Amino acid sequence: MNNIDEKILIEGVRGGAYESFSQLYNRWVSQLYRFVFSLVKSEDVTQDIVQESFVKIWTNRENLRTGYSFKSYLFTISYHLILKEWRCKLEHPLMEDYMDYCNNENLSTEPHTEEHIDFDKFLEKLKSAKEKLAPRQRQIFEMNKEENISISEIAASLSISDQSVRNQLSAALKIVRKEIGNYTLLLVLFCHL
């Protein structure tokens, strides 16, 4: 049964066949677990994300396509759940306290830790990158990525088309990503890219 073509299993899952779903689960659960654990470093969180990934596959099974890689689809779901988990941690009150500490620490004469210096470098690079943006690009970038305002709301606010907002945002992101360099992960976490 392990040699059944993945496309047939996907068709089975789309049709509601739990046996097909079970086989896909057994094929990928170990590899997915290792992937998630390598990023979150917590068995409980890993188990939750792996379980939720497969639940999403099952509940959205009618959207599965046989022409696409099941592995890519599954791992993309997991990756987004990992980002969601990280963002929740960033919004945790303790993280807010840490951010306040980092901001106040800039006024202190105490030596910085290596982690603090790295975070400070990220903030410097982000500020520098935003200064290289055209005024409209910067405005759209900050509204969308820092204030979490949707593209359509930005378009209405600035009296421009949604496509103009997308174009300006895309151009801004290219510049910011280039300037950020090694701090892309922090950019993803803090700007929800």
Measure the CA–CA gap between 45 and 81, rounded to whole angstroms.
Answer: 10
**What are the contacts of 37-46 at 24+ separation with CB within 8 A?**
39/82, 40/82, 40/85, 45/85
- Residue 139: per-residue pLDDT: 94
Measure the CA–CA gap between 163 and 176, rounded to whole angstroms.
Answer: 20
**How much is the average pLDDT of 60-78?**
87
Would you say the pTM of this structure is higher than 0.75?
Answer: no
Architecture of domain 94-191: Orthogonal Bundle (1.10)
Question: Which is more confident, 120 or 137?
Answer: 137
Measure the CA–CA gap between 62 and 65, rounded to whole angstroms.
Answer: 8
Looking at domain 6-90, does it have CATH number 1.10.1740.10?
yes
In the chain, domain spans? 6-90, 94-191
Q: Give the tens place of pLDDT for each residue, 73-127.
A: 898 899 888 888 877 766 555 445 545 555 555 444 444 444 444 556 777 788 8
SS3 for 134?
A: coil
